Structure 1
């Protein structure tokens, strides 16, 4: 997805390399990605590609070039020993000079939009996030599990842009005492955000790491993107993008057009029935043969609320339809019953850049089964169409399933 470029050093006539990844649009705000101690390896290049998919022009400079250019290590014991040696010999002041040179290189690129630039660093790069925030004019610096920041707190008086620091509860490189010192020092600083992820260890955001923790990584990434978007963009109309996707799903019923609104490898998960697809091939197959052309002709959505975040939408709505066709994704293997159904639903729609990345769709399957006659609600704590009706009219009776409700009245 990306390519190697040369970056002009600002303290000599030398150049050093960096991996540059561009968003699909070809342009966007600029972000420097700070490497781990393993160099500009496959993982760091993948991170740059990931941020490019989010809409950024992402550059990973080789911060070891003054010691050993082109370091590209794996994660074996031998690689780790080499990485630690390089980290211990790194001139941190020179590294910040090279990060600043990388900012200058980004500003010179015609693909970079906007005056503000961002920085996202991991491990060693996480420590450098602090110094980047205090020694450069970066608009937003994000650091993952940085080490040694507690010894550099005196530089906070120079902190001007937004700073986001992600820490792992079980990280021995930055223990609870170090985190407490950092948090206490930055308490009340309205431009600083500090997050600690419970039960995880160093490198929790590195895919493939023994310490990789997907929930913590997802939460940290969402907070990082939210901070970057707040300070440097890019800004997309997520509501309009979602409406376009829905239009092709339910109105035009055009599968290629639906897929065109999504990233290269999206996924959909209808939570109660586990239907959908992961990846373009399987999701396109699902849309073509089991969703877009299989929905009843009278199916409609009644919007109730929409919450728009930095990179996702949460939609609350009621879906109405007559069960006149077999609905594979909601009622697989159930022949049409001709029953009319109204069901509250919730969709969590995540984007990467201006493309839809995933849909998580939730509903009460028991209510659906009651309404089509496959589940007798008598004696069970379930309801039918009443769940949709009460969502539309909160004045309808509450607690009708609770036999003991009448006994608590005073």
Structure 2
């Protein structure tokens, strides 16, 4: 039986702490996986994903990256007012500080498992963008982004990617145009460390754990690829 609860993590600077939802597997963890939130915070869907990774044998951590704005924000994208609040948080969020918090979470994961433990990162929406940024800027071991937004503006950083990185692209993403998707393929395709998967006809959020945005077949396909990817590069 897994154990899951919120637990504090020290910032890299050591001047503050933020919470992460941490799920521990029943036995010895194979590695660690960090789950990076959407604009809706560490809500029930993100907690379910975290618990699923623990059930698969990984130490799983979902840091509360919005803590500088307001700790423990939890929003439901199917509620219009809560969707609007989530969209309003995106421009207020300091992404560079968020990457430092992900670095701190990587450090905390390795402290729990041992200094040479492997750590994977997987993110959704805003978290998909942050997973890509983390692949460029952190010492994680493998990275997966689902329907990351604005990645075309980060392609210049991709030359720093030297670890396995996989991106799931929603073909009918109303936040990521076909033109942007093409720029991602053109700019990232030549990097042998990056794998791109397209999901024709699927919209943003198709792999959410619950709610109106979920496409069960698309979610199952993308998640199976993610499971295999982490098994190859972390186990």
- Please list, as runs of the form range in 1=range in 2, the aligned pairs for 1:152-301 lying within 5 A after superposition: 152-233=154-235
Contact 2:48 2:209 in 1 (8 A): no
Q: Are 1:62 and 2:64 an aligned pair? A: yes
Equivalent position of 2:93 in the other structure:
90
Partner Cα distance (1:139, 1:193) in 2? 15
- Please list, as runs of the form range in 1=range in 2, the aligned pairs for 1:1-400 lying within 5 A after superposition: 1-75=3-77, 76-110=79-113, 115-233=117-235
**What's the offset of the Cα at 1:212?**
1.1
What residue ranges of structure 1 are gaps of 5+ in the alignment? 234-410
Partner Cα distance (1:225, 1:207) in 2? 15
Deviation digits for residues 340-397 of structure 1 (CA, Å, limit 9, x no counterpart) = xxxxxxxxxxxxxxxxxxxxxxxxxxxxxxxxxxxxxxxxxxxxxxxxxxxxxxxxxx
Normalised to the residue count of structure 2, the TM-score between the two structures is: 0.94
Normalised to the residue count of structure 1, the TM-score between the two structures is: 0.55
Partner Cα distance (2:61, 2:93) in 1? 20
Of Structure 1 and Structure 2, the greater strand share is in: 1
**What's the offset of the Cα at 1:113?**
8.7
Partner Cα distance (2:181, 2:55) in 1? 32
Of Structure 1 and Structure 2, the greater helix share is in: 2
Contact 1:164 1:194 in 2 (8 A): yes
**What's the offset of the Cα at 1:114?**
5.1
Which has more radius of gyration? Answer: 1
What residue ranges of structure 2 are gaps of 5+ in the alignment? none
Alignment RMSD: 1.4
Secondary structure of the 1:119 match is strand
Secondary structure of the 1:108 match is helix
Partner Cα distance (1:44, 1:26) in 2? 23
**What's the offset of the Cα at 1:177?**
0.9
